[in-house]
Chain A
């Protein structure tokens, strides 16, 4: 049986288009230092470091863990580098947790980052692969046709995506770390923004951010002694499926459904909308909120958009199941860190430490990440109480 583990420290940077004031090492150290301060620990208290980020081409540094070991106080310790596409932030947290849940380590620091201003992510993702058809579209171009198929099937109203774009940017106004701060955001403003990939408009898409996120994960005995309330890891799961195969369900991928089922059963969740208090879900393009509401079992198939339109996922509208109270990926997107930010924000909620975007009394929260062509998933559920 796995040992109990909990998040005892969380550190983030301010997310913005360009962090010209720090190097890559400076960026990760800032998040890591913030996590240590939050946990009341020092560098020497850490047994191992697990680092994650999306493709190395985003910064042009090959296997950057070798360069970042000094900045992360890791000399003489084990260091592992995870890379599972856009889900990497979540996967990295799970791999870090396994260092503790295996009983091998007591206290682990995990850090994810992206300094996207060092390059152009869309083109770094669109390099031609030898022997493969060249997709010169970036992520938005890849997902747009899948979203159109969702709209066709579900007969969702025209403005469901617009509503998500507004809702998450309003949430971001409660989170000073969020990259996009758009106090005048409105349905009209989103609707009038340029169309990028039909049906996705500019303001229905995530920004490109610099930023890093770090967690300190500790074993049960040390977590109970931590200065602040721990977020107990109640379940964690990952799933992958091939990018393309005959009959692949791209709108509602099986890997996502299976991953959710796995993490729910570990945490004893039978009805996610009822049993969970909030969720931080990887929504880089507006329409992915209704799509993931269905994929994750918060709504029956074809009805995710109804929750969105009712305001069920909005903190400002007093919804019963707020999604992405931090502003989500739509408001801050340092790609390699985005999944871990979801996991960290879920933990902040159950620690009662989410400041102005706190869901009152949150006890159980989902953190979710996906990546690639929506074939890689990682999820965890954290709780204010031990299982």
Chain B
């Protein structure tokens, strides 16, 4: 496979409620900023554009249709859309460049979760005949997973609080974060449980926002003379939908995706993991053999702000930006979809 370069990334602040801003108004600033970082003006300057969004967040069909208004798509552009996190839009774009039909691509993801109640909306992702009618929501299912981990002795509540404490502290240096602060483990554990064993801080917030990225062939990046991070590998895998048929204490699909993406071929220094619940970060870091030497979620991760449909792409952008800044030489980024980490994507990024 060809190495492909990430040359620009931009993300909005994660906010609980973007108010009267519509989707186009969420997208335009990040798309313009990402394009502007490499001297591009509109989607006319890239060969392909792909986005990720979900109709059910805004409560009407075709959330992505108005998104095209943010691109400058006159004359018409080569464009596609996944009803998934934009990390998968990156995957589609990566394939397009691999097949030689494009040399560059703009990818963006956006979501406005504030109009609805996200945990309930996502219930409609479950089997519509047997599970969804029971209204088991995402928090309830994550609590089930955390309880399974605790009962198996795989983690303790202190381990979960440690994840939150580090996330909040790391987020202090992330200007886009929604939640940050200095909290020690004792303070966190003194809080009441919300949905046992989860405390409120074990759950990511619901956020509105968007992010955008520009990628191109390494040759093109060199010609342009811009900074870039290289995508060395990218892979994603899905598991059975039925929670009872999975071992919820591990993530076999993350492991397989990591193997296919080349995570284990050399040590990684940094990892951004899409873990909407604290215990899931522990599952993911174990599935990817991340030890104490790896900086996990230096941005604070999605516990500090979870822009549905954009957070996965943002994890990749967070790692790419740090590599471009020279902070790290090799890192991985992870994205997830579905209940209890059903579907996982792993990207390995390196410096030049």
Contacts and interface: CB of A to CB of B under 8 A. Distances in A.
B210 to A, nearest CB: 16
B92 A98 contact: yes
A112 B237 CA distance: 20
B80 A95 contact: yes
Given A62-B121, A63-B125, A242-B73, A76 B239 contact: yes
A267 interface: no
A68 to B, nearest CB: 8
B122 interface: yes
Instruction: Using C-beta atoms within 8 Å of the partner chain, give the interface range for chain B.
Output: 35 or more
A56 interface: yes
A285 to B, nearest CB: 19
Contact of B55 (A3, A56, A102): A56
A61 B56 CA distance: 9
Contact of B95 (A1, A98, A241): A98
Interface string A231-263: 000000111111101000000001100110000
B125 A67 contact: yes
Given A66-B238, A84-B80, A241-B73, A102 B95 contact: yes
Interface string B66-103: 10110101111111111110001001100110111100
B253 interface: yes
B239 A69 contact: yes
B126 A103 contact: no
Given A66-B241, A125-B61, A245 B74 contact: yes
A190 B280 CA distance: 59
B148 interface: no
A63 B22 CA distance: 22
Given A83-B81, A130-B115, A62 B342 contact: no
A373 B88 CA distance: 25
Interface string A36-74: 000000000000000000111101111111111110001
Contacts of A341: none
Contact of A75 (B60, B62, B75, B239): B239
B286 interface: no
Nearest to A124: B61
A63 B337 contact: yes
A243 B95 contact: no
Contact of B238 (A23, A75, A84, A255): A75
A103 B129 contact: no
A255 to B, nearest CB: 4
B15 to A, nearest CB: 17
Contact of A254 (B60, B76, B83): B76
A91 B51 CA distance: 14
Contacts of A74: 238
Contacts of A65: 84, 238, 343
A83 B128 contact: no
A220 to B, nearest CB: 13
A27 interface: no
A242 B49 CA distance: 13
Interface string A73-117: 011111111111100000100010011011110000000000000
Contacts, number: 192
Contact of A130 (B1, B22, B79): B22
Interface in A1-30: 1-3, 23-24
B338 interface: yes
Interface string B237-268: 11111100000000011001000000000000
B144 interface: no
Nearest to B257: A78
B189 interface: no
Nearest to A258: B76
B339 interface: yes
A129 interface: yes
A98 B343 CA distance: 21
B66 A132 contact: yes
Interface of A: 1-3, 23-24, 54-57, 59-70, 74-85, 91, 95, 98-99, 101-104, 124-125, 127-132, 237-243, 245, 254-255, 258-259, 372, 375-376
28 contacts: A2-B100, A55-B62, A56-B55, A62-B125, A66-B125, A66-B238, A66-B339, A69-B240, A70-B241, A80-B92, A83-B81, A95-B92, A98-B99, A102-B95, A102-B96, A104-B95, A125-B61, A127-B59, A128-B60, A130-B58, A132-B22, A132-B66, A239-B77, A240-B76, A242-B71, A243-B66, A243-B69, A258-B76
Given A74-B238, A103-B1, A130-B115, 17 more contacts: A56-B56, A61-B128, A62-B125, A75-B239, A76-B256, A81-B84, A83-B81, A95-B95, A98-B92, A128-B60, A238-B79, A241-B73, A241-B76, A242-B71, A243-B69, A254-B76, A258-B75
